[in-house]
Structure 1
Amino acid sequence: MRIVHVLTRLLRAGSEENTLLTCAGQLAEGHEVYLVHGHDSAPEAAGRALPDLRLVSVPALTRELHPLKDMSAFLHLRRVLKQLSPQVVHTHQSKAGIVGRFAAAAAGVPLVVHGVHILPFVGETGARKAIYLLSERAAARVTNGFIHVSEGMRDACLEHRVGTERPHHVVRSGFELGRFATAQPPQDWRDLVGTDQGADRPLVIAMLSALEPRKNHLALLDHLGPVIESFPQARFLFAGEGHLRDEIAAKIRELGLQAQVRLLGYREDPERIIALSDICIHCSEREGLPRSVLQYIAAGRPVVLFDLPGLEEVLRDGQNAVIVPPGDWGGFTQALLRVLGDPAARAALAEGARHTDLRRWDGSAMGRDTLSIYSEMISMRHQHPRLA
């Protein structure tokens, strides 16, 4: 079977990792797999990891709303899909999900599937929410089915009447569980946290996420004052890359936090950064169940984060995490202060994390599960042509 995945960007964030792992599983099953990506891309890593994966660039496909570029991306993508003539197109991320599904329908692709990593209308209000909802409902009409990363995403989709007549499946965003459960801190940890040889290891708070607006690094920095004042020796490690790097670095300098906040860039060993940490945090207020949060739990680390759809599948407030209402930065700061100042609470949360059952997130099954869903959707399409 020829399968085409479509991504807005091909960088090194969670949805890209999820998609590449799905591609790997499908390649291992003997299928011909293409990955079409937009302008923001770092394809070298994907090429090294999956040499049999065929990459196609559509430069006009960008995250920002731009009618001329969006039309160009649609036409380019439709042309690519007509040439490839795949049996399945599986879109990911918001912009690629809209443009890609309409292009696939226009190219006559038999099966069009959308992978829901995040719903753009969740957490939005007013005109922006209305526009996002209108776009998603329109694209749902040319979608044969949905695959969500969490039950929370599925429920939010149905609650907002997006694709209610289509099948909705859940394939959790898996990863290599053992890699995180058994990891050790990196040998150069002193350099990473900026500690002299022989000095005690400071308290370490890690955040692994792309440096992009919805991850809220800038807002976090604005609210770190009370934490730094109470724990001046603590170190915040931001691991990840993104287009906000320069702005975040400038904010760190502006606030005089160069000693306390360290930008590590993209890491090939995220499990070692998590193993180095005492607490892990996640500041996004709008996305699905984040892979990094699951990795924190797999490593047995306490987590402080804002509430998100799907967290209830894994996290229990006060048991393996501290969950704060979205947007409550005062509550987030206070939660972080409590956990930093209470070793017994940290130990209890860590114990709860270590005993969390994550078997459903075993990455080895993702490719096979997705292929099974394709087959089910193809069968349903033949039985119920009106859903085609």
Structure 2
Amino acid sequence: MAKLIRITTIPLSLEKLLEGQLTFMSNNYEVTAVSAEKKRLEKYGQENKVDTFHVGMTREITPLLDTKALLKLYSFLRKEKPLIVHTHTPKAGIIGMLAAKMAGVPIRLHTVAGMPLMETTGAKRRILNNVEKLTYACATKVYPNSEGLYKIILDEKFTSENKLKVLGKGSSNGIDTNYFNPGQYSEEERAEFKKRLKIPENDTVFIFVGRLVADKGINELVQAFEELEKIHGNISLLLVGPFEQELDPISETSLRLINSCPKIFTVGYQEDVRPYLMVSDVLTFPSYREGFPNVVMQAGAMGLPAIVTNINGCNEIIEEGKNGTVIPVKDRSALQGAMRKMVENKSWRTQLQKNARKKITDNFEREIFWQLLLEEYKLQEKYLGEKKFS
């Protein structure tokens, strides 16, 4: 079997963003997962029955460590001689694509699932722009995981149109709608879990799932909730995810509100988010930038309507007035207004709920996406063969 190398900066991306995908591909390729955090990576490999190779990568700009990682990966690829290297996440993208190009790997693929550079300015933005261009220059094909990202890449002139392709209707991995299925839980289980979290039984529960950082709109969300809670006492906010104060801190005001408000519940990072979605009524996802957010698909598959910002990915999953509502970015007032409407207009919210799951099952089924990606690999192999004999 031909060798396929999949690279992410940290194993969390393999576990969550690409869940199940590498195991599926191992039926057709000899798959190796490359990432940082050696012990966690090895655990992932054992659980998913794929080989692993550890490369110490960071999510920050660290020239010396990055050079060391590049050389280590280059040496590995020279030895392994894979047919395909496929990278995800910005740091793994530049190191992986550059190493693969240097090592003469014939098929070099990079998936774009978000652009942190969109929220930066000045010298750092110029550096990140150049890194993005170099990544795409080294790749033979680039896959934005949403139509919005496709457009941004062209607008920013990072690469040419003939190098870009969106697979299916977007996403990097689709959604397992059998796993994310509200039918798995009874009303009794829902009530019991809500009680365990100490959320009042009759509260309307807004949920956020993701990193609790500024770029995800947490400042706007917490402050909008606090203002709304003064008007409607029977609401709760459930925050599922880790703080990253060292990378992208939320404000001290937001931190104080989270710690002091009895109706804001934080549970940290959770391996399985389904029970938390099960006890919730509305997803609130006021992010500043995304690729194609898994959580919006997960919540939809669990039957939750969503309040999302008007950014790529989000506005491709949520259709205004059908399975949720779309608000402007960084607009606390609009966010509060949308949350208030969800509380006060229950018939509207119920109608959105009815449409939420169908939108996901019709468009983003996981195994269909896996098959699309496998077909794309075979297509790239075909192009390679045609080049050799032309």
TM range (shorter): 0.7 to 0.9
Measure how far apart 1:367 and its partner are.
Answer: 3.2
Q: Which residue of 2 aligns with 1:325?
A: 328
Cα distance between partner residues in 2 of 1:265 and 1:34: 30
Q: Kindly tell me: are residues 240 and 156 of structure 1, through their superposed partners in 2, closer, same or farther at Cα, counting changes over 3 Å? A: same
Cα distance between partner residues in 2 of 1:205 and 1:314: 19
Give the alignment's TM-score, normalised by structure 2. 0.86
Cα distance between partner residues in 2 of 1:203 and 1:169: 37
Residue identity (%):
23
Cα distance between partner residues in 2 of 1:224 and 1:200: 18
Unpaired runs of 5+ residues, structure 2, are: none
Q: Which residue of 1 aligns with 2:71?
A: 75
Q: 1:351 aligns with which of 349, 354, 378?
A: 354
Cα distance between partner residues in 2 of 1:219 and 1:40: 36
In structure 2, give the amino acid aligned to 1:305: V
Q: SS in structure 2 opposite 1:176?
A: coil
Q: Kindly tell me: are residues 35 and 375 of structure 1, through their superposed partners in 2, closer, same or farther at Cα, counting changes over 3 Å? A: same
Q: Which residue of 1 aligns with 2:152?
A: 156
Measure how far apart 1:290 and its partner are.
Answer: 0.6
Measure how far apart 1:261 and its partner are.
Answer: 1.6
1:134-191 deviation line (CA, Å, top 9, x unaligned): 2211221211102232222223223322331424242533121133232425564234
Cα distance between partner residues in 1 of 2:234 and 2:42: 38
Worse-matched range after superposition: 243-252 or 303-312: 243-252
In structure 2, give the amino acid aligned to 1:35: A
Q: Which residue of 1 aligns with 2:53?
A: 56
**Is this contact kept in 1: 2:206–2:280, CA < 8 A?**
yes
**Between Structure 1 and Structure 2, how many residues are aligned?**
377
Q: Kindly tell me: are residues 266 and 213 of structure 1, through their superposed partners in 2, closer, same or farther at Cα, counting changes over 3 Å? A: same
Q: SS in structure 1 opposite 2:32?
A: strand
**Is this contact kept in 2: 1:298–1:354, CA < 8 A?**
yes
Measure how far apart 1:281 and its partner are.
Answer: 1.1
Q: Kindly tell me: are residues 248 and 357 of structure 1, through their superposed partners in 2, closer, same or farther at Cα, counting changes over 3 Å? A: closer
Worse-matched range after superposition: 115-124 or 136-145: 115-124
Worse-matched range after superposition: 275-284 or 163-172: 163-172
**Is this contact kept in 2: 1:211–1:245, CA < 8 A?**
no
Q: Kindly tell me: are residues 126 and 341 of structure 1, through their superposed partners in 2, closer, same or farther at Cα, counting changes over 3 Å? A: farther
Give the alignment's TM-score, normalised by structure 1. 0.86
Q: SS in structure 1 opposite 2:307?
A: strand
Is residue 2:293 matched to residue 1:290?
A: yes
Measure how far apart 1:280 and its partner are.
Answer: 0.9
Cα distance between partner residues in 1 of 2:340 and 2:39: 37
Measure how far apart 1:250 and its partner are.
Answer: 8.2
Cα distance between partner residues in 1 of 2:91 and 2:356: 34
Worse-matched range after superposition: 341-350 or 357-366: 357-366
In structure 2, give the amino acid aligned to 1:179: Y
Unpaired runs of 5+ residues, structure 1, are: none
Q: SS in structure 1 opposite 2:10?
A: coil
| RMSD, aligned α-carbons | 2.9
1:259-285 deviation line (CA, Å, top 9, x unaligned): 212222333432222121111111211
Cα distance between partner residues in 2 of 1:72 and 1:175: 36
1:283-333 deviation line (CA, Å, top 9, x unaligned): 211111211101112222121111121334332112211111112122112
In structure 1, give the amino acid aligned to 2:215: R
Q: Kindly tell me: are residues 292 and 253 of structure 1, through their superposed partners in 2, closer, same or farther at Cα, counting changes over 3 Å? A: closer
Q: Kindly tell me: are residues 127 and 376 of structure 1, through their superposed partners in 2, closer, same or farther at Cα, counting changes over 3 Å? A: same
Cα distance between partner residues in 2 of 1:45 and 1:203: 38
**Is this contact kept in 2: 1:174–1:361, CA < 8 A?**
yes
Cα distance between partner residues in 2 of 1:231 and 1:155: 40
Q: 1:143 aligns with which of 139, 142, 145?
A: 139
Cα distance between partner residues in 1 of 2:238 and 2:184: 17
Q: Kindly tell me: are residues 47 and 217 of structure 1, through their superposed partners in 2, closer, same or farther at Cα, counting changes over 3 Å? A: farther
Cα distance between partner residues in 2 of 1:296 and 1:208: 9
